[in-house]
Structure 1
Amino acid sequence: MAGEIVYADLNIRGDSSLTSRPQPPHHLIFQGPCSKAETGALASHLRRRLCDSPQNSSAGPPGCRLCPLNWLLHGDKCYWLSKESKTWNESRKDCSAKSSRMLVIQDQRAMEFIKTITEGKYPVWIGLHLTTSKGNWTWVDGSLLNQTGVSLSAPDTGNSCGVWKENQIRGEICSGTFKWICQREAVLI
């Protein structure tokens, strides 16, 4: 870091409520050569400042986790909800461009969180599709959908993709347009 200028945009929310309005980022500028002690002190200060925020008090593995700007932290994952609508394939490409993947629902806790952020008001694409070769519902990570307790009907076209609709997983024609959810691992600091 010697001789470099380091910029840090911090968006520290006062509470973890999804309805609260985000505060403007704090802009920090550090200029000039930094010794190892100064760099360590700065990292320690930022860790305390960020990790002690309510945003990092959510359930999940211990440690301080951060998400990119405009992403929501829940447990050890970051979630991004689109504002526009695209086809399932376009949505998948968009998540990939964001260094993430479409939502893979792995447990009841994740389902409850998705209910919260979508409020059951509109359908969103998730990372689930019907493979034509085997006729299995498969997540974008390659795992099969555990259909225990999930009633999933799909259009007869064989071109079916998963959508979170009315607080449950449903099958829709992949060429339809909906909003979508991307997910990625939170950064542990």
Structure 2
Amino acid sequence: MNDSEEGRGQQLGPLDEEHLITSGTRYSIKGFRFQPPYVLKRAAVSSIANSKEQEQAEKEKVNQEMTQLKPQINRLCCPCPWDWTLFQGNCYFFSKFQQNWHDSVTACREVGAQLVVIKSDDEQSFLQQTSKEKGYAWMGLSDLKHEGVWHWVDGSHLLFSFMKYWNKGEPNNEGEEDCAEFRDDGWNDVPCTVEKYWICKKSATSCTKK
């Protein structure tokens, strides 16, 4: 056996293997590359540290953005519930289906409101126009307690100045017509058992500046 064959057949001894593991350098034996285990462990620790640093940086970025948005969030105000309409300090709900007058009164009370009571000419104009677009609708007006004496659901009397809103020839009480509706360009009296859309009203939420 010559020197070259003896070199190829030489095996690593225990000290050589220890040196291979702890030296911190790479070796190539018979086409294979070896790297000490502690080098791999160091790389893994470094990767975890970088990941934590990135995560912390992301948290700080989010916190910074929230801090910048906070003044704007504080200024946000929702005076009316979703699907209600704001008009001059009040919220109005226009129903999507029809029911009789008494059930309409109850439906409004259940959401902390009342079947609409009209307090001004502007409010009347707004509601009349909206009802023309959405369909004939109940208002909180009736003469159920005394025929011909119209009261709102809050107990107040119908003002004489509002009598002009009745359609021509109304109210005529044809067939026990004791409840009032928005119809076309004015008001009409109809039987309370008829099913119609309805309009609820409640005060808007105050938006206090901080």
Q: Give the alignment's TM-score, normalised by structure 1.
A: 0.64
What is the match of residue 113 of structure 1? Answer: 126
After TM superposition, the runs of 4+ consecutive aligned structure 1 residues lying more than 6 A away are none
CA contact (8 A) 2:177 2:189 kept: no
From 82, 86, 89, the counterpart of 1:73: 86
1:1-189 alignment, distance < 5 Å:
42=70, 45-50=72-77, 66-120=79-133, 122-133=135-146, 135-148=148-161, 149-151=164-166, 152-158=170-176, 160-189=178-207
Q: Distance in 1 between matches of 2:83 and 2:201?
A: 12
Identity of aligned residues (%): 24
Letter in 2 for 1:45: Q
Shift of residue 159, structure 1, vs aligned partner: 5.1
SS of the residue 2:199 aligns to: strand
Work out which of the two has the higher radius of gyration on C-alpha atoms and give 1 or 2: 2
SS of the residue 1:84 aligns to: coil
CA RMSD of aligned residues (A): 2.3
The structure that is strand-richer by fraction is 1
Structure 2: runs of 5+ lacking an equivalent: 1-65
CA contact (8 A) 1:160 1:174 kept: yes
Distance change >3 Å, CA 77–CA 134, structure 1 → 2: same
Letter in 2 for 1:46: I
CA contact (8 A) 1:120 1:165 kept: no
Q: Distance in 2 between matches of 1:120 and 1:155?
A: 26
Shift of residue 117, structure 1, vs aligned partner: 2.0
Q: CA offsets per residue over residues 86-105 of structure 1, 9 Å max, x none?
A: 00000000001111000111
Q: CA offsets per residue over residues 12-60 of structure 1, 9 Å max, x none?
A: xxxxxxxxxxxxxxxxxxxxxxxxxx9xx95x5334234xxxxxxxxxx
Structure 1: runs of 5+ lacking an equivalent: 1-37, 51-64
CA contact (8 A) 1:154 1:172 kept: no
The structure that is helix-richer by fraction is 2
What is the match of residue 9 of structure 1? Answer: none
